[in-house]
Structure 1
């Protein structure tokens, strides 16, 4: 049942939860609640018949009811009454306790020798074989009556022998009062002989429960439960198309993928579905069905697999060279064995994997010939029929037929059609395939590459397109206007793959060539005006580029270019905290010209939302994100879908909605990101969360990765916040010198960029580090520089950081003033809705007031603790609890000794891992020694630190854990460790 734990799952099943089938289960429960009753559960192989039976038998109302289950076997010569006898063998204990009184049951003794001691004596054989069989039927019926009340389940009755079918017809006519019978049967196995007997049963006609494939949403739910992740639509849709909604096929596909990738990476890799080989178990099943067809049917079905998922029967007849009656017979045979099914009145392959198996069974040479015949048949139909030429299908068939000229012509036409409909991804795919053809003329190659440059940016084909454009620009003499367009496209794609500096330089290099194309020039200059991308470009230069973009837009006379430049101007102002940015954004959002271009509208909203987050305007970010998400969904803008998810996660992080966020960030920071440049932002988000939740060592390592990559590619925005976060983290690890180094490095980039709004938190970190090293006064000039740099800025996070830095400077000489400044900082952050930063400021203020002996210090610390608790910031919880104990502030339940959801006791495995970590072993060394994954070790270390009230792994070194891993709760008041 959806949302509830399954009480039954077949052996080897991946999912323990039954998805869908609510109505079917309810019908079966009604059937068994009113015996005598009969039910037929029918559906194709793998549809979930046995799973449904198991769920039924586990329902509470059957807890005291006996159930017997028999299985029919797929044998050449099935044994008479085999499934019924198998069911009786399960009743040995009941028969031992109470022997049947009816002597006719003795007729079963020779058939059930293992139960003979519990049955009446065998009866003498009858000379008439028919009379003997009738007596055995009566005996089986009497035994069922003796064992009642019961539910008899016979699985896969389509494989039953004739004798079993005769017995079931007899049973339907003489069913005991307290017996319910449930049969499962495959619909593709053909007519079931007992249907008429079940329809005329004296107890009432059998109820039929027909199982159909799962819906797309149910497939997503099933797969999401197996992978323990929410499935993005980009993965769920092709998974449904690949499997046809058959639960067994879904599980086999996921089982195969799990052998290749970690579960958390699979939802972000829809590409693996396209490349998937048919799972071995499913392949065997499908090949067996294919072998059941005669030679003529197999040949026609092979042609059908070449033609398509839903082959047109007229085209198929022409391709296969067979008449319509032969085609109809072949399709009927394939449908009978479950390789095809009927959908909207047409025969369709049951799922993509069934078609793949049939397709691969056709020899390669025959396949090539069939593709050519299919293309020719489609061309012929297009000449005489209405509608446009099916250029996409023609490109596919000509490509596989080995006809490059015809393929390229149709692929370009298909790309043009896709581009005109806004489907950049499909256009890019066709163009990339066409550019793989070695015999292309120079003219065709340049023409296709220019089109690829236009399509690949939004078509998410960056990695494939970049080397093509680079090679073309390096080897072909091109006219200036084409060279400029290609360099602009290449620059945008390099930015998308994360090569920010290289992309910026390419676009700069394109400007001269675009001088006579003002529309493209305006767009290129608008891209260069974005300040949050590349290092070593001052905001003054970005502003100058924006001015040049406005002039180019005016020359072009193109209203869309003018809007693009105004969007860039709003972003530039917003990133600097300019109060005028809000007015410009509001004007643009009301502009009909912007609303008429959904992609530009969506891109603007998402970019502005990011900028609003950068300056701490969470309210504005949420409003813009909501509008941007709505437009992205309506426009189906593929490239922005993942960026929307990224910005949504960043907004949730800022607003304190952290549940499930770390897992999502970890997944998309790896190979899950489709927009490569976004993976660095996901990595930063993951690291920032770990800095608060732990383990600290992992956060330090990830932040180091972000810094290294951002410096290599020249990306300024991840670089500055990554160094600031690392500086703040190192301060909590008592590494003031390291914190000062990273804050200083961040401020070097801030000065080079000329945007102090971005550097305010780094200033606070540096002042804190200097204070820890006894030189807080050294930061006075820096704070003055910051104050001048953000004067008048609408940037709450920067204003709060400035107030905090001023408070640190004033703390020794003017404690009351420092208190007031810090309280103002906390109030600013709270008003902005920045929950984590508010908690940090409240903790600092509470600690200062406790140290001064002020009464309200304790409540401030408790308030900060509750904020951390709501976030799940385990490292911060451990730290603030230590501060509260040091200052005699009572720690409220449930944080006394750790978070209760995890308990205070170390598990045996956590204790084992912690012991090795205390000895200085690395996570990889521990993983190797204990035969665990590195990720599991990281989780155990983090849990141990949290439960023991420690801030970092460093505090484990040289300390001794208690001997008993599952002994009394750890004494977190003393850190749970004792000095050796």
Structure 2
């Protein structure tokens, strides 16, 4: 038997769904091919619930089991309440079930109504994160047991963050016969789980966006409700007044039908004139409200204060009315359409209706009702609902009680591992009135701890800064706040400012060895900040180890050992791998999944920095697995970034540019990670084009990195730009950026990062006929890299030595060095760098008329083709033509290439580009998108073997193509 609601939205006037057939078919296709996810989005009143009801009522779903849960606006920081509500609907089915998965017993304490039908509860786990993960597994197991199933969760924009975490978990662990449909209101902020839904392993969710009805659709809806043809004048005016929102259309017509016979309304357009826009819905709801007697109005106003589902007992205590009066008033409100019954409860028909009734209560009376509601909730049995109490005390103007309850709600959230909710509550407490100094300090310390993992960076930073600037704090408190502020600033992208804050905290933390050890461990990271030599990072690490020993805290010891491994790895110290292996097998680290995941991701990035791809992939896989199991959503963006960086290094470039383009945008959580993603994007564009965009992106990264003092994006960004400028024959510009990168390398003292800038500088000097000037620098690099386990740096050193040999006409040594560099990169699995090395060696051998030079160039061309590296393809084709090497077509998979022949559209675009037209000007003239023009220009350059559009100016396309 199906489980869930009936066919249509309660109180709907129309039996016919208007204007949503395409959306309905999309949902049907999702349900027909489980596992599937669908998210229906739209503004309030747009018809999300109606669409779901229509879907569930269609004959195609007859006999299909479904569960429906409703998220409410006032959520407690306890997890999964809408899902638990849905599970309660499965009571009869579970009563008939046998052999349930034992893990489902985890849900028994949360579902006392159906606990007798579930396995016995499991012993609690000591780690809240592990307990939450087991609860998530239990919920997925129960959904799997109930499958085939359609699960509907409505209004997930109101769900608490733990429920959002579960939905992200569910997206990665969908039972094969489960279809999930979510509804969410737009305008309530970006839905936290949207990215998880878009990247679900079973396939991206279907996103169904509902927009207002069109003018003809409003006319169709109204005609169906009134059972009459509508004159054009009336239909147009109704559309103008309602904005095409179905709920408003229905409410306006409901009001008019109370005044006039339905058949007369279409001919009385003047009746719409009194309904002003945009307050028409308010007029409709208030008209219904004022049709009630004063007692019912009073009780309904109190109901709006209490929440979406008014409780009779609380209503009685708040209003002083007896239960009979309460029941009569709610029945009258239901009769006029302000309330409706759902799941055995009387609730407001719509959040907008409750909001309008709420705002109709005078402000002074509203405050009194909120206070009464708080007192009534305090007098109830069982745990006190701190979040709801805080809400009522806030609106009652009782700051002291509000702060006490919102702090309690934050503490509850923290016990459930819900740092984001805790940080939000603490921010509210600190912004409310003027708490006492001791209270502000206590709240700020808690906020500093919660905000790092709770992602409340932007909001928490000014509060901590203000407190540190204005309050005479005890040294231990000041040190902890500075440490917290420093971490927040670093995660917010202000690397130098964050580093300085943590440095300033060190003396204040002298008597707190555990916190001191953690602070010093953060200062150990060499890749974060400029102007600190690696010797200083090593000294900080030694100090951190001493603090960890004094603290006797195993967690601090683990954190310091992780930092030591990262520091050694960034320097190419071979001993780092033994330390990492020891840590990965340490049971204490395994029992701390967040620390475990962070460590793996940091080490994966460091491994990529030195060119160790295989361990980077293994560490990424471990970090992703642990973060997924622990539902550690805070690192989701970092996981995506490191995955993209690994794919770039491994040569898996299909769709990679678009993936990277989507990372690190305005909505990015970590500004530091965002900067790294911009660097990755610029590096990919340097190979694939367009050139102008690549240059702009890299220049932006350099500017931001210099402003915030972030050394790692700064050095590789300048190096990448230097290499790009070399391909554009700007040797002077390339040398300038290479020298700037080397200046930072010298300041930092980590020459593993300096090998590629040295190579760029050597290439630039060689291009200017000054190759011999770099000999001393290359010798210095060789001495600094002795014994380093860093394939990228070692290959760059070999190549630089080869360039010097080539400048001295020592062909044999140059060939040997270039070939050794290529072998090093091939062994490391760095496919793009291997192709560059093969191209360099092929050019050298072609210059010497060696027989296999052309073969090397062809292999590099095929690699560039597989990577879609259009700029490199254009360059190497030009080199091959110049050396008489045949260019094989096609040289990559996919549809057959046109070879050197331009298509008619490419020829047309290329002619306009040859005249000096910009891409935008060409797009306007040919009625194309700018992106399409960029693609045609890039393709033409590649086929013709040109490096830049400047060369098109001298081209006679009619003869040459």
TM-score under structure 2 length normalisation? 0.70
Alignment of 1:215-230 (within 5 A): none
What's the offset of the Cα at 1:236? 6.5
* SS of the residue 1:457 aligns to: helix
Q: Is the 8 A contact 1:427 1:459 kept in 2?
A: yes
Q: Is the 8 A contact 2:801 2:817 kept in 1?
A: yes
Moved more, 369-378 or 805-814: 369-378
Q: Is the 8 A contact 1:612 1:618 kept in 2?
A: yes
Where does residue 880 of structure 2 map in the other structure? 884
Could you give the per-residue CA deviations for residues 846-887 of structure 1, whole angstroms, max 9, x where no partner exists? 222223222222222222222112212111122222222222
Kindly indicate whether residue 359 of structure 2 is the aligned counterpart of residue 363 of structure 1. Answer: yes
Where does residue 233 of structure 1 map in the other structure? 193
**Partner Cα distance (1:960, 1:53) in 2:** 63
**Partner Cα distance (1:21, 1:511) in 2:** 59
* SS of the residue 1:498 aligns to: coil
**Partner Cα distance (2:646, 2:213) in 1:** 32
**Partner Cα distance (1:707, 1:487) in 2:** 28
Kindly indicate whether residue 864 of structure 2 is the aligned counterpart of residue 868 of structure 1. Answer: yes
Where does residue 776 of structure 1 map in the other structure? 771
Q: Is the 8 A contact 1:300 1:330 kept in 2?
A: no
Where does residue 281 of structure 1 map in the other structure? 245
Kindly indicate whether residue 834 of structure 2 is the aligned counterpart of residue 829 of structure 1. Answer: no
**Partner Cα distance (1:887, 1:858) in 2:** 8
Could you give the per-residue CA deviations for residues 704-748 of structure 1, whole angstroms, max 9, x where no partner exists? 111111111110000000011001111111111111111111111
Could you give the per-residue CA deviations for residues 407-451 of structure 1, whole angstroms, max 9, x where no partner exists? 211111111222232222111111111111233222222222222
What's the offset of the Cα at 1:771? 1.4
Instruction: Give the 3 Å change call, closer, same or farther, for CA 438–232 of structure 1 in structure 2.
Output: closer
Where does residue 27 of structure 2 map in the other structure? 19
**Partner Cα distance (2:777, 2:57) in 1:** 70
**Partner Cα distance (2:892, 2:707) in 1:** 45
Q: Is the 8 A contact 2:152 2:181 kept in 1?
A: no
* SS of the residue 2:210 aligns to: helix
Q: Which of residues 600, 605, 609 in structure 1 aligns to 2:604? A: 609
* SS of the residue 1:438 aligns to: coil
* SS of the residue 1:890 aligns to: coil
What's the offset of the Cα at 1:513? 1.0
Q: Which of residues 662, 680, 684 in structure 1 aligns to 2:679? A: 684
Where does residue 715 of structure 2 map in the other structure? 720
Where does residue 844 of structure 1 map in the other structure? 840
What's the offset of the Cα at 1:814? 2.6
Q: Which of residues 385, 397, 417 in structure 1 aligns to 2:381? A: 385
Instruction: Give the 3 Å change call, closer, same or farther, for CA 232–730 of structure 1 in structure 2.
Output: farther
What's the offset of the Cα at 1:577? 0.6
Instruction: Give the 3 Å change call, closer, same or farther, for CA 949–508 of structure 1 in structure 2.
Output: same
Instruction: Give the 3 Å change call, closer, same or farther, for CA 314–879 of structure 1 in structure 2.
Output: farther
Q: Which of residues 446, 453, 456 in structure 2 aligns to 1:461? A: 456
Where does residue 787 of structure 2 map in the other structure? 792
Could you give the per-residue CA deviations for residues 563-604 of structure 1, whole angstroms, max 9, x where no partner exists? 111110000001001111011011111111112222111111
Alignment of 1:312-331 (within 5 A): 312=311, 314-315=313-314, 323=325, 325-326=327-328, 329=331
What's the offset of the Cα at 1:507? 0.9
Alignment of 1:152-163 (within 5 A): none
Kindly indicate whether residue 51 of structure 2 is the aligned counterpart of residue 46 of structure 1. Answer: yes
Q: Is the 8 A contact 1:533 1:717 kept in 2?
A: yes
**Partner Cα distance (1:18, 1:381) in 2:** 44
Could you give the per-residue CA deviations for residues 288-330 of structure 1, whole angstroms, max 9, x where no partner exists? 4785867459987776555445555544565576746447646
Q: Which of residues 536, 542, 559 in structure 2 aligns to 1:564? A: 559
Q: Is the 8 A contact 1:214 1:247 kept in 2?
A: no
**Partner Cα distance (2:567, 2:213) in 1:** 46
Instruction: Give the 3 Å change call, closer, same or farther, for CA 913–369 of structure 1 in structure 2.
Output: farther
Q: Is the 8 A contact 1:744 1:766 kept in 2?
A: yes
Q: Is the 8 A contact 1:315 1:378 kept in 2?
A: no
Where does residue 624 of structure 2 map in the other structure? 629
Kindly indicate whether residue 503 of structure 2 is the aligned counterpart of residue 474 of structure 1. Answer: no
What's the offset of the Cα at 1:817? 2.3
Instruction: Give the 3 Å change call, closer, same or farther, for CA 433–898 of structure 1 in structure 2.
Output: same
Could you give the per-residue CA deviations for residues 25-76 of structure 1, whole angstroms, max 9, x where no partner exists? 99xxxxxxxxxxxxxxx996334969999999xxxxxxxxxxxxxxxxxxxx
* SS of the residue 2:453 aligns to: coil
Could you give the per-residue CA deviations for residues 272-295 of structure 1, whole angstroms, max 9, x where no partner exists? xxxxxx996256247547858674
Where does residue 123 of structure 2 map in the other structure? none
What's the offset of the Cα at 1:932? 8.2
**Partner Cα distance (2:568, 2:412) in 1:** 38
**Partner Cα distance (1:369, 1:923) in 2:** 63
Could you give the per-residue CA deviations for residues 509-552 of structure 1, whole angstroms, max 9, x where no partner exists? 11111111111111111111110000111111100000001111
Instruction: Give the 3 Å change call, closer, same or farther, for CA 699–364 of structure 1 in structure 2.
Output: farther
Where does residue 421 of structure 2 map in the other structure? 426
Instruction: Give the 3 Å change call, closer, same or farther, for CA 820–669 of structure 1 in structure 2.
Output: same
Q: Is the 8 A contact 1:927 1:934 kept in 2?
A: yes
Q: Which of residues 642, 655, 670 in structure 1 aligns to 2:665? A: 670
Q: Is the 8 A contact 1:884 1:890 kept in 2?
A: yes
Instruction: Give the 3 Å change call, closer, same or farther, for CA 285–441 of structure 1 in structure 2.
Output: farther
Where does residue 409 of structure 1 map in the other structure? 404
Q: Is the 8 A contact 2:526 2:567 kept in 1?
A: yes
**Partner Cα distance (1:902, 1:19) in 2:** 41
Instruction: Give the 3 Å change call, closer, same or farther, for CA 500–25 of structure 1 in structure 2.
Output: closer
What's the offset of the Cα at 1:691? 0.5
**Partner Cα distance (1:442, 1:612) in 2:** 46
Q: Is the 8 A contact 1:897 1:904 kept in 2?
A: no
What's the offset of the Cα at 1:378? 5.6
Q: Which of residues 512, 515, 521 in structure 1 aligns to 2:510? A: 515
Q: Is the 8 A contact 1:606 1:647 kept in 2?
A: yes
* SS of the residue 1:394 aligns to: helix
**Partner Cα distance (1:45, 1:696) in 2:** 50
Alignment of 1:687-702 (within 5 A): 687-702=682-697
Q: Extract unaligned runs of 5+ from structure 1.
A: 1-8, 27-41, 57-209, 256-277, 964-970
Kindly indicate whether residue 259 of structure 2 is the aligned counterpart of residue 251 of structure 1. Answer: no
Q: Is the 8 A contact 1:459 1:638 kept in 2?
A: no
**Partner Cα distance (2:330, 2:385) in 1:** 25
What's the offset of the Cα at 1:939? 5.6
Kindly indicate whether residue 902 of structure 2 is the aligned counterpart of residue 894 of structure 1. Answer: no
Could you give the per-residue CA deviations for residues 814-864 of structure 1, whole angstroms, max 9, x where no partner exists? 322222221221121122111111111112222222232222222222222
Where does residue 128 of structure 1 map in the other structure? none
Alignment of 1:55-70 (within 5 A): none
What's the offset of the Cα at 1:931? 9.0
Instruction: Give the 3 Å change call, closer, same or farther, for CA 782–887 of structure 1 in structure 2.
Output: same
Instruction: Give the 3 Å change call, closer, same or farther, for CA 510–24 of structure 1 in structure 2.
Output: closer
Instruction: Give the 3 Å change call, closer, same or farther, for CA 775–414 of structure 1 in structure 2.
Output: same
Where does residue 853 of structure 2 map in the other structure? 857
Which structure is larger by alpha-carbon Rg, 1 or 2?
1
Q: Extract unaligned runs of 5+ from structure 2.
A: 1-16, 35-46, 62-148, 155-166, 172-177, 215-241, 255-280
Instruction: Give the 3 Å change call, closer, same or farther, for CA 887–220 of structure 1 in structure 2.
Output: farther
Kindly indicate whether residue 621 of structure 2 is the aligned counterpart of residue 620 of structure 1. Answer: no
Could you give the per-residue CA deviations for residues 475-508 of structure 1, whole angstroms, max 9, x where no partner exists? 1111111111111111111111111111111111
* SS of the residue 1:45 aligns to: helix
Where does residue 534 of structure 2 map in the other structure? 539
Alignment of 1:927-966 (within 5 A): 941-942=937-938, 945-946=941-942, 949-956=945-952, 958-959=953-954
Instruction: Give the 3 Å change call, closer, same or farther, for CA 253–538 of structure 1 in structure 2.
Output: farther
What's the offset of the Cα at 1:606? 1.0
* SS of the residue 1:668 aligns to: coil
Question: How many residues matched?
Answer: 751
